[in-house]
Amino acid sequence: MRVLFVTTEMDDFVRVGGLGAVSAALPRALRPFADIRVMLPGYRDIIEQLTHIQIVGRCPAFAEMPACSLGRAATKDGLPVYVLLCSQLYDRPGNPYGDESGHDWPDNDIRFARFASAAAELAMGKLDKNWAADLIHANDWQASLVPAYLAWRGAKLPSILTIHNLAYQGLFPKDSLRRIGAPESSFHIDGVEFYDQLSFLKAGLVYASHLTTVSGTYAREITTEEFGCGLEGLLRVRSDASELTGILNGIDESWDPRYCAQLAQQFGAGDWVGKRANADYVRKQFGLAVSRGPMFAIVARLVHQKGIDLVLSAADEIVDAGGQIVVTGSGEPALEQALINAHRRRPDAIGVTIGFNDAQARRIFAGSDFTLMPSRFEPCGLSQMYAQRFGSLPIGHQTGGLAETITDGETGFLFSRPSHESFLGGVRRAFEAFMAHDQLDTMRRSAMGRSFSWSISAGSYSALYRKLASV
């Protein structure tokens, strides 16, 4: 089966959040099942890293979207990658979605509609004369117009849209409809209209053959008013028709502390001296005091969703009880500044690095005793899986993928509400476990023994692909 996997991030080249990790790992896990090819926008970082790009097709200008070319290349391990080449849209500083100061590009409607339109053309066999898709798998709002363009062009190709985070919907003024060549007739409550705006994500929810999201719990949560972001009615209809499936993400095999080359010292379950060597390294890197108390890690996007404010409200109690906090990530400027201020108040006990570095993140997981994940909602989450594999017990809100991947009291700690008191209850339980050495040893061993292999997820996606292709 020929599958086109359409995404705007891939860890091989560019990463903003968890989508990049999924887009690097899932297509590779699916290669035994399908001729799967990834399509990406031609960002500067991607073009610079691909050694040979062969032009296979050209897209003429359409509506207010410029002409562009389609290139084909491959990753170092041979995974085919298509890149949409249009320097005026994608050759920019900053990240894939915004400028260096964190503001969204004002023409993101054009940028991602051009991308989705070209993906539909490629899937239909109109760009690469040697390849067409049997099924198209689009990811998040930036690729959500792919099923819509297929429908508007009368193509009968089956499509899947995976919702990685429903809170990001790609909302634009109604005038965008004309700019991206969408039919005026699609702008209504059962189409792409969302409170008098054009919603890219809603277009995918309406037109895709099937919807998936990244955990079974989140698939249920998004059909409720609390988590549905105003789209719960539509999602309930799709769910009731058995057209919404939750498939839990995995993590790749490099997350094994016995073999991870980036660690200060490799270690396995039971080798707590090796784990302590990583803790000592992290303390030194962050300028923290020598300590035998627990180290709490945050490796996350620093945004309201992740409950960073709850960590800030609990920081003094954690430190006063003998704990230390190490943070790495980037996000909302106000939260970044609040964490920097917390570090300045307690530089011996709170370490903060704004930005993300994979090797540093791995050492933090390896050195920390607990990973803080008080997310208000969490579609899947990857940090709690990384943490468990590296013997850092996650403390997470009982929601989404956290509820499915943390076994309370065995591989981590779950708390019931995203509130200060509920979160502190989880932290206090962690302190108690830290003091009870036998319990800590048992929990660490259980956590490090967990498997979050992508092969399980790939099998579920493969079965879904075959089912949709046979309809």
14: left (phi over 0), alpha (psi -120 to 50) or beta: beta
- Cα–Cα–Cα angle for 35, 38, 40, rounded to 5 degrees: 165
Q: What is the DSSP string of 192-239?
A: TEETTEEEHHHHHHHH-SEEEES-HHHHHHTTSTTTSTT-HHHHHHHH
What is the bridge-based pairing of β-strands 80-85 and 68-74? antiparallel
Two structure tokens written together for 163: 């919702």
Identify residue 120 by its one-letter amino acid code: A
Q: Which residues of 18-36 are buried (b: 16+ CB within 10 A; e: fewer)?
A: bbbbbbbbbbbbbeebbeb
Mapped onto helix, strand or coil, the DSSP state of residue 450 is: coil
Q: CB of 137 within 8 A of CB of 163?
A: no
DSSP string, 252-272: -TT--TTT-TTSSS---TT-H
Asked if residues 142 and 165 have their Cβ atoms less than 8 Å apart, the reply is no
CB 167 within 8 A of CB 229: yes
Cα–Cα distances in angstroms (integers) from residue 387 to residues 135, 205, 257, 448, 455, in the given order: 35, 33, 11, 9, 20
Token duo for residue 449: 């023994």
Angle at 83 between CA 79 and CA 89, to 5 degrees: 155
44 annotated ligand binder: no
User: What element of type H or E holds 45?
Assistant: helix 44-49
**For the packed helices 200-207 and 145-152, what is the interaxial angle rounded to 10 degrees?**
60
Which of 74, 392, 98 has its CA nearest to residue 263? 392
Q: What are phi and psi of 84, to 5 degrees?
A: -90, 115
Q: Is 421 exposed, middle or buried (0-12, 13-18, 19+ CB in 10 A)?
A: exposed
Binding residues for ADP-alpha-D-glucose: 15
Binding residues: 15
